[in-house]
């Protein structure tokens, strides 16, 4: 008999007859078919290849932005970011000029898949799914994600930590991992090896957890694909962009880490057994890093929508020379040097390097808001949407995949927290962090995109794969949105799908006889979401996590 697990303040004895999960979910952060399908076909990833042969799979459309935190949140809730409240790695601020700090699981509003499964009396095991700090109680167990500050308990229940050995949530990101750096080779080999070990330990921990604490649904996310693809996309997909110097040792180290991810799939699928339905998914895919930066704030200033203070270099000199040190922090700021906030109707900041938030300086919302609600507000939004959608670079290339009013892409109780407009770049274009400051100091709309060592960035096309007794083994299938996974998992567990979940059940992957015997059921009953409570604990802890996310290119 397995030891009891504590959940929601009560102890749940593992007395059920369950010994194996009936649904196994394996998340591969950042994985896409463009990279993995050829490798699977070449038998470089034999476990993935065998799942493809006995499964149904296709593209999984990520959230806007195609970013880890909002995307896994949409996986967990079956809702778009407007329905759960997580848009980015930081908290958005639609009513103030400064930041509101890092987003965490406290910003994720449920119910989550884990809440719904738990409320039905079934048990879940959830490992490393972001955001899962602060931890929230589940009927089963949870291991926290990469937002967990060092030294903080990272499992629910806490005593589980002792069973995991020297578990690594996420490997420290290497500094200066740039090919021109003399230590590049050493750092690259070390990083790939560390991610391989992290993957192997995670696999061993998951196999232990599945045996020692049987659950009905088990879910784990592996971070290694995302991490390697940020740094080494040019090696992994050399047909895109500038080919790197050939280096067999680095290539072998990367291949070994992907092989460890494939071994993880093999080990977990074997442990779950033939009766489990397996779901493989990613939160987004990958593409090459942007080649050029587009300066949205420069465009807004040129359009007269953003009022820039004249003579900013002189203003800064005066402030630096004339003011006592103690006053400088207050006056040497963006708003005092570069932006005349009171006369500004709109500005942009960076959610991720391919997605910009554009804020309209709405009266009644911001302290100095100057755009009246109703027709004036809509006129500003229309002008920006039309202008940016029509924007072409000097060579005639389209810059934005789309520029959306928030209500065009988001719905639900948290839409008010969304930017007034969201601009998604075409893959060749990107926006830099600290874009207000950096865009306004330049006179031209376009510049080179050179950010710390990354050769790959996110793409909206992630992947899904289903295999198991309920699944029709027909190979490639249609695209589904990431919001479709939670309702499909509930259906595979024999549970009714809450109507509040937005994504359609992935019905095309199901066998005809399964569908005939198990029609998809829906329910209007809403499970109460268990909200995460507690916060970073200290400014230092939050700063440590911010530093880690910066190292991954996810923060400014
Ligand atoms: Zn991700």
Please write the tens of the pLDDT for every residue from 225-278. 999 999 999 999 887 767 788 899 999 999 999 999 999 999 999 999 999 999
Res. 195: pLDDT tops 80: yes
CATH number of 292-306+344-448: 3.30.1360.110
* 511 CA to centre of ligand 1 in angstroms: 30
* 149 CA to centre of ligand 1 in angstroms: 19
* 360 CA to centre of ligand 1 in angstroms: 29
| Range(s) of the chain covered by CATH 3.40.720.10 | 18-288+456-468
* 540 CA to centre of ligand 1 in angstroms: 24
* 489 CA to centre of ligand 1 in angstroms: 20
* Helix/strand/coil percent split, the chain, to 5: 35, 20, 45
Determine the pLDDT at residue 240: 73
* 405 CA to centre of ligand 1 in angstroms: 24
How many secondary structure helices (H) and strands (E) does the chain include? 18, 23
Backbone angles phi, psi at 343, to 5 degrees: -105, 10
Res. 35: pLDDT tops 50: yes
β strands within 105-148, DSSP E: 124-127, 140-143
* 68 CA to centre of ligand 1 in angstroms: 4
* 169 CA to centre of ligand 1 in angstroms: 14
Q: Look at 80-94, 144-158, 249-263, 336-350 and tell me which has the smallest mean pLDDT.
A: 144-158
Measure Cα distances from 173 to 103, 146, 194, 195, 203 in Å: 20, 12, 10, 10, 21
Question: What contacts 151, CB < 8 A, 6 or more positions away?
Answer: none
Measure Cα distances from 110 to 69, 78, 131, 157 in Å: 14, 10, 12, 20
Res. 398: pLDDT tops 90: yes
Question: What contacts 286, CB < 8 A, 6 or more positions away?
Answer: 30, 32, 34, 35, 226, 229, 233, 237, 456, 457, 458, 459
Residue 164, SS3 per DSSP: coil
pLDDT, one tens digit per residue, over 458-480 is 999 999 999 999 999 999 999 99
Q: Look at 44-58, 303-317, 343-357 and tell me which has the smallest mean pLDDT.
A: 303-317
| Range(s) of the chain covered by CATH 3.30.1360.110 | 292-306+344-448
How does residue 102 score in pLDDT terms, banded at 50, 70 and 90?
Answer: confident
- Where are the alpha helices (H) located in 309-374, listed in sequence order? 312-322, 325-331, 334-337
Determine the pLDDT at residue 506: 98
Determine the pLDDT at residue 529: 76
What's domain 18-288+456-468's superfamily in CATH? Alkaline Phosphatase, subunit A (3.40.720.10)
């Amino acid at each position: 008999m397995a030891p009891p697990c504590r959940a929601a303040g009560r102890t749940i004895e593992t007395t059920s007859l369950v010994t194996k999960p009936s649904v196994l979910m394996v998340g591969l952060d950042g994985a896409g078919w463009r990279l993995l399908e050829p490798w699977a076909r070449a038998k470089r990833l034999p476990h993935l290849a065998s799942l493809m042969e006995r499964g149904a799979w296709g593209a999984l459309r990520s959230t806007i932005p195609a970013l880890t935190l909002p995307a896994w949140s949409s996986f967990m809730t079956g809702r778009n970011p407007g329905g759960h409240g997580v848009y980015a790695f930081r908290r958005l601020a639609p009513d103030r000029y400064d930041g509101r700090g890092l987003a965490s699981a406290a910003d994720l509003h449920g119910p989550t898949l884990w809440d719904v499964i738990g409320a039905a009396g079934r048990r879940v095991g959830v490992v490393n799914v972001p955001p899962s700090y602060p931890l929230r109680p589940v009927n089963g167990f949870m291991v926290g994600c990469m937002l967990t500050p060092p030294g903080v308990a990272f499992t629910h229940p806490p005593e589980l930590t002792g069973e995991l050995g020297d578990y690594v949530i996420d490997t420290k990101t290497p500094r200066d991992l740039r090919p021109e750096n003399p230590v590049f080779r050493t750092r690259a080999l070390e990083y790939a090896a560390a991610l391989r070990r992290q993957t192997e330990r995670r696999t061993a921990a998951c196999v232990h957890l599945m045996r020692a604490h049987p659950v009905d649904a088990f879910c784990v996310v592996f971070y290694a694909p995302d991490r390697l693809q940020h740094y080494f996309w040019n090696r992994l997909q050399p047909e895109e962009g500038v080919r790197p110097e050939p280096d067999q040792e680095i290539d072998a180290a990367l291949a070994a880490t992907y092989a460890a991810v494939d071994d993880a799939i093999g080990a977990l699928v074997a442990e779950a057994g033939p009766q489990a339905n397996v779901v493989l998914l990613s939160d987004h895919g990958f593409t090459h890093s942007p080649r050029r930066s587009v300066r949205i704030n420069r465009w807004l200033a040129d359009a007269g929508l953003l009022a820039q203070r004249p003579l900013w270099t002189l203003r800064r000199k005066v402030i630096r020379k004339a003011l006592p040190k103690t006053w400088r922090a207050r006056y040497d700021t963006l708003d005092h040097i570069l932006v005349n906030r009171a006369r500004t109707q709109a500005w942009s900041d960076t959610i991720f390097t391919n997605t910009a938030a554009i804020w309209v300086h709405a009266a009644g919302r911001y302290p100095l808001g100057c755009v009246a609600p109703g027709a004036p507000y809509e006129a500003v939004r229309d002008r920006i949407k039309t202008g940016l959608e029509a924007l072409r670079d000097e060579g005639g290339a389209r810059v934005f995949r789309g520029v959306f009013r928030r209500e065009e892409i988001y719905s639900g109780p948290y839409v008010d927290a969304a930017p007034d407009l969201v601009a998604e770049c075409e893959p060749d274009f990107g926006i830099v962090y600290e874009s207000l400051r950096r865009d306004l100091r330049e006179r031209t709309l376009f510049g080179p995109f050179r950010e710390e060592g990354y050769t790959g960035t996110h793409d909206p096309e992630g992947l899904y794969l289903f295999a198991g007794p309920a699944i029709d083994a027909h190979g490639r299938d249609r695209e589904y949105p990431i919001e479709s996974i939670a309702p499909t998992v509930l259906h595979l567990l024999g549970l009714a799908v809450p109507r509040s979940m937005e994504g359609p059940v992935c019905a095309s992957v199901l066998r005809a006889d399964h569908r005939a015997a198990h029609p998809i059921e829906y329910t209007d009953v809403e499970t109460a979401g268990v909200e995460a409570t507690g916060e970073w604990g200290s400014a230092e802890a939050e700063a440590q996590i911010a530093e880690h996310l910066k190292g991954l290119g996810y923060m400014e």
